[in-house]
Structure 1
Amino acid sequence: MKIAEIITKIREVLDEKDALREEALKTTRDIVRLSGDAIKALHRGNFELAEKRLNKAQELVKHLKNMLKNHQDLYFTGYVQNAHQEFVEAMLFYSYLKDQDFPSPRELEIPEADYVLGIGDFIGELRRYFLILLMNGDIAKAEEVYHFMESVYEELMTLEYPKGLVNIRQKQDQARYILERTLEDLTRAKINKALEEKLEEALKE
């Protein structure tokens, strides 16, 4: 075969990959946007809107997997992984607020490595929810969220794998930092609450 013929064949393959890559990039951006919209809706208590966004994101996750089934080199890339993480984070947060069982990687059709990275992001979203509860004065509920965050963190720390398989160490370090800050905030809030109660009692005497 002549070089020109080889190059022609290569061009055909790369042109197909390039077109798929562009479509995949658009799809992943849509997944990230829909997942972010769902999380915002959840914080506002708008579960109906969150469900709509998550259902649409789930359709795109499946579409992405099917679209790239013959191009695993494109499927296991950073931008696809990031979209999966955002979707997992949103789904876990939704399930937590609805007090439902958490969906598995198989149910979401997400690679296990992407799913576990999403768990790391989920801890960060729980902190945001924790802070909202503190601002609303619901210390008891905030403490409940903290203890759940702690349990998720402990499970996350049982995973020890090389970076080449899944970059979990970074998520673990971030989760540890988030948990430490959250405990500091909770402790400060409980101390302030106790002081307020003592002050109120003193004023009544």
Structure 2
Amino acid sequence: MSSVSVYVKAIDEVLRVKDEVRELVIKTTRDIVRESSLVITYVHIGKLDEAEELLRRLKLKIDELDSKLNQHPELKYSNLYLTTLSEYVEALQFLSIVKFRCLKPPEEVGVHYVPYLQGILDLIGEIKRYILNLIKLNNISDAWVYFNIANDIYECVRGLDYPDALIPGIRHKVDVARRLLEDLREFLIDMESRIKLIEFLRNKS
């Protein structure tokens, strides 16, 4: 056996192990994304206890996978895994703002800063959905509370002026959030005016 053959065989063994881990990552991340989406659904329909329990199980699943990826940094910091973690962050923070009206800090969430930032920016879209449900209940005051939370996220993150290589996808998400918040602000102002007009006419009659 030539020396080159020995070298390649050793590399092949390393790659075989990494490929097995990669398959595990693909399977587990699918589960994490699906269950994170379910958490968000639970929060929207008011099943906060169920959301909390599912998040607890998700955290255990993420911690277990994370420990296995410590020996495989190219997978741990891959776009697939980081994007999946951002879905978890979005679900976790959505429950937090609905229950406590504040975000959990990065050290408590326990993920890389990229999925943390991606997740809280994506959260703005879920806050919009939550606000629209509040409007259906004529709860304009709470709608403004959640709008201000979303706007604060946007204002804080948009100040991070770094290249995409350091914070991938953040600039695009900031632009999306800006347009969403502009439209949402106009909508809330319009709805607030309509509600006040209806109340005025009701009191006059």
Range of TM-score over shorter length? over 0.9
- Aligned twin of 2:198: 196
Tell me by how many angstroms 1:47 deviates: 1.0
Tell me by how many angstroms 1:3 deviates: 2.4
- Greater shift after overlay, 107-116 or 14-23? 107-116
Tell me by how many angstroms 1:37 deviates: 0.8
Tell me by how many angstroms 1:180 deviates: 0.8
Distance verdict in 2 for CA 1:129–1:100, change over 3 Å: closer
Tell me by how many angstroms 1:69 deviates: 0.1
- Aligned twin of 2:187: 185
Structure 1 unaligned residues grouped into runs of 5+: none
Residues in 2 aligned to 1:11 and 1:127: alpha-carbon distance in whole angstroms:
49
Tell me by how many angstroms 1:100 deviates: 6.5
Q: What's the % identity of the aligned pairs?
A: 33
Q: Is the partner of 1:98 in helix, strand or coil?
A: helix
- Aligned twin of 2:57: 56
Letter of the structure 1 residue corresponding to residue 191 of structure 2: A
Tell me by how many angstroms 1:107 deviates: 2.5
Contact preservation (8 Å) 1:62, 1:109: no
**Residues 154-204 of structure 1 deviation map (CA, whole Å, 9 limit, x = unaligned):** 1111211100011210111011011011112101211211332333244x2
Distance verdict in 2 for CA 1:99–1:59, change over 3 Å: same
- Aligned twin of 2:9: 8
Letter of the structure 2 residue corresponding to residue 37 of structure 1: L
Letter of the structure 1 residue corresponding to residue 118 of structure 2: L
- Aligned twin of 1:102: 103
- Aligned twin of 2:159: 158
Residues in 2 aligned to 1:136 and 1:151: alpha-carbon distance in whole angstroms:
24
Letter of the structure 2 residue corresponding to residue 25 of structure 1: I
Structure 2 unaligned residues grouped into runs of 5+: none
Residues in 2 aligned to 1:107 and 1:147: alpha-carbon distance in whole angstroms:
23
Contact preservation (8 Å) 1:35, 1:86: yes
Residues in 1 aligned to 2:100 and 2:110: alpha-carbon distance in whole angstroms:
22
- Aligned twin of 1:173: 175
Residues in 2 aligned to 1:102 and 1:43: alpha-carbon distance in whole angstroms:
17
Letter of the structure 2 residue corresponding to residue 97 of structure 1: V
- Aligned twin of 1:29: 30
Tell me by how many angstroms 1:150 deviates: 1.4
Letter of the structure 1 residue corresponding to residue 26 of structure 2: L
Letter of the structure 2 residue corresponding to residue 24 of structure 1: V
Structure 2 counterparts to residues 73-84 of structure 1, below 5 A: 73-84=74-85
Q: Could you tell me the TM-score, scaled by structure 1's length?
A: 0.93
Contact preservation (8 Å) 1:163, 1:169: yes
- Aligned twin of 1:65: 66
Asked if 1:86 corresponds to 2:87, the answer is yes
Tell me by how many angstroms 1:85 deviates: 0.4
Contact preservation (8 Å) 1:61, 1:109: no
Contact preservation (8 Å) 1:89, 1:118: yes
Tell me by how many angstroms 1:72 deviates: 0.3
Residues in 1 aligned to 2:123 and 2:116: alpha-carbon distance in whole angstroms:
10
